[in-house]
């Protein structure tokens, strides 16, 4: 009896401590959220426009990386052509927008088209083994870029869209017209928050656990009653939609696209951000973006444009070093850290 009471007291104590920690986490979240909302406003009023532009860019890349993380990080499918879905979203948005269709209608269409094409790609491709999948996605990415480059009547080829004399419709929210970097920062911030929320909820849902199970052992996952192809397909389509989302926002913000923006190099850059930051971890993906996009862009005016050339050289080295010495990335995901490590000795 006494023992039980003691246990109960202990439980309350522990629970109380956990409650306290939860509160702390919430406070940190809210403060950082407020900082993210207020800081750009201060920067804007102090005339620091470049920093806001960079922040917007980081936001776009964060949407892309958090989306790609669903495929690469959770499910363990290496996708080397993710930029093609950004391109599909961007081209759909711009082609409709030129006709004067408002953003809030073109956005769902871009998302749907991105997801649908991703689904069609996934049906045959998801059956392939890991490294073959990487090659096919790479080839698909190149095909999309080549199509954008060669179908002049649709995409205006390498000269890009919109053509001379055409105009992308502005994004309007009631009476608010989005036209400068600060407004777009908030728009991107809003969508990024949504992306992170969806991704976080997904990670901790039944589907998210199924994805991790598939990553660890597809066969065992299938035997445990997971519908492997269906779950993989869901993850694949969802991440493609995030790619299209980023593309659609980006093109409205910058107001121009050309096939050169969606090269293999960019797709690889996204993968390296996730790898360096930490696979399967939203925070890791964001850290990767800050390290590989944010810091170099902020440093660009300081170190000169020459630095941008050296950037890729350094990334290549960092990628090799990180993957050899810390294969989980800088911020490793809790799940990956907790995994059993069994050396596979084959005889």
Partner 1 sequence: MFFEQLVNGLTLGSIYALFALGYTMVYGILLMINFAHSEIFMVGAYIGFLVLFSILAFPPQFLPIYFLLCFILSMLGAGLLAVIVERIAYKPLRKASRLTPLISAIGVSIFLQNLIMLTVGAQSKTYPDKLPITQFHFFDVQISSLQIFIFGLSILLMIILNIFVSRTKLGKAMRAVAENHTVSQLMGINVNTIISLVFLIGGGLGGIAGVLNGLYYGSIKYNMGFLLGIKAFTAAVLGGIGNIKGAMVGGFILGIAEALAAGYISSESKDIIAFVILILVLLFRPAGIFGEEVTEKI
Q: Give the footprint of partner 1 on this chain (CB under 8 A).
A: 76, 78, 124-125, 128, 130-132, 134-136, 138-140, 142-143, 146, 150, 219, 264, 268, 271-272, 275, 309-310, 312-313, 315-320, 323-324, 327, 343-347
Q: Which is nearer to partner 1, 198 or 335 (CB)?
A: 335
Query: Minimum distance from CB of 221 to partner 1 (Å)?
Result: 13
Comparing CA positions, the residue from 310, 331, 191, 165 lying closest to residue 249 is 191
At 47, which helix (H) or strand (E)?
none
Q: Which is nearer to partner 1, 29 or 310 (CB)?
A: 310
Query: Minimum distance from CB of 298 to partner 1 (Å)?
Result: 21
SS percent in the chain: helix, strand, coil, step 5? 75, 0, 20
CA distances from 258 to 110, 238, 298 (A): 17, 25, 24
CA distances from 331 to 55, 203, 275 (A): 21, 16, 10
> Which pairs with CB-CB distance under 8 Å and at least 24 residues apart come from 331-340?
331/277, 331/278, 331/281, 331/283, 331/284, 331/287, 332/278, 332/281, 332/284, 333/73, 333/278, 333/279, 333/280, 333/281, 333/284, 334/281, 335/212, 335/280, 336/279, 336/280, 336/281, 339/216
Q: Which is nearer to partner 1, 222 or 255 (CB)?
A: 222
Query: Minimum distance from CB of 136 to partner 1 (Å)?
Result: 5
Q: Which is nearer to partner 1, 63 or 138 (CB)?
A: 138
Query: Minimum distance from CB of 171 to partner 1 (Å)?
Result: 35
Q: How far is CA 297 from the centre of its chain?
A: 18
Q: Which is nearer to partner 1, 30 or 317 (CB)?
A: 317
Q: Which is nearer to partner 1, 231 or 274 (CB)?
A: 274
Query: Minimum distance from CB of 218 to partner 1 (Å)?
Result: 10
- Sign, CA dihedral 208-211-217-221, equals positive
Q: Which is nearer to partner 1, 40 or 81 (CB)?
A: 81
Query: Minimum distance from CB of 91 to partner 1 (Å)?
Result: 18
The Cα angle at residue 284 between residues 342 and 23, in degrees rounded to 5: 105
How far apart are the C-alpha atoms of 335 and 311, rounded to whole Å? 31
Query: Minimum distance from CB of 278 to partner 1 (Å)?
Result: 13
Q: Which is nearer to partner 1, 48 or 149 (CB)?
A: 149
Query: Minimum distance from CB of 71 to partner 1 (Å)?
Result: 12
How far apart are the C-alpha atoms of 129 and 56, rounded to whole Å? 36
CA distances from 179 to 101, 254, 260 (A): 17, 10, 24
């Amino acid at each position: 009896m006494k023992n039980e009471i003691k246990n109960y007291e202990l439980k309350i104590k522990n629970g109380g401590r956990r409650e306290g920690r939860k509160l702390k986490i919430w406070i940190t979240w809210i403060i950082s959220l407020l900082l993210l909302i207020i800081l750009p406003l201060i920067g804007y009023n102090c005339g620091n426009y470049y920093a806001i532009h960079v922040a917007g860019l980081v936001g776009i890349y964060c949407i892309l990386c958090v989306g790609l993380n669903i495929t690469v990080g959770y499910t363990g499918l290496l996708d080397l052509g993710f930029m093609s879905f950004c391109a599909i979203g961007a081209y759909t948005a711009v082609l409709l927008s030129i006709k004067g269709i408002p953003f809030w209608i073109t956005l769902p269409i871009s998302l749907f088209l991105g997801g649908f094409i991703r689904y069609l790609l996934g049906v045959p491709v998801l059956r392939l083994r890991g490294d073959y999948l990487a090659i096919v996605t790479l080839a698909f990415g190149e095909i999309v870029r080549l199509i954008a480059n060669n179908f002049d009547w649709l995409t205006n080829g390498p000269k890009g869209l919109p053509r001379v004399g055409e105009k992308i419709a502005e994004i309007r929210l009631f009476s608010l017209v989005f036209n400068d970097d600060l407004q777009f920062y908030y728009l991107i911030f809003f969508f990024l928050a949504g992306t992170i929320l969806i991704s976080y909820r997904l990670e901790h849902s039944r589907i998210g656990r199924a994805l991790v199970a598939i990553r660890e052992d597809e066969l065992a996952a299938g035997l445990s009653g997971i519908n492997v192809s269906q779950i993989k397909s869901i993850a694949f389509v969802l991440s493609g939609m995030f790619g299209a989302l980023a593309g659609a926002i980006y093109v409205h913000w910058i107001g121009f696209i050309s096939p050169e923006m969606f090269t293999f190099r960019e797709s690889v850059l996204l993968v390296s951000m996730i790898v360096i930051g930490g696979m399967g971890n939203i925070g890791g993906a964001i850290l990767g973006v800050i390290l590989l996009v944010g810091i170099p862009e902020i440093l660009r005016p300081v170190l000169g444009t020459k630095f941008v050339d050296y950037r890729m050289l350094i990334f290549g080295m960092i990628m090799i070093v990180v993957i050899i010495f810390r294969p989980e990335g800088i911020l490793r995901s809790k799940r990956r850290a907790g995994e059993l490590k069994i050396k596979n000795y084959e005889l």
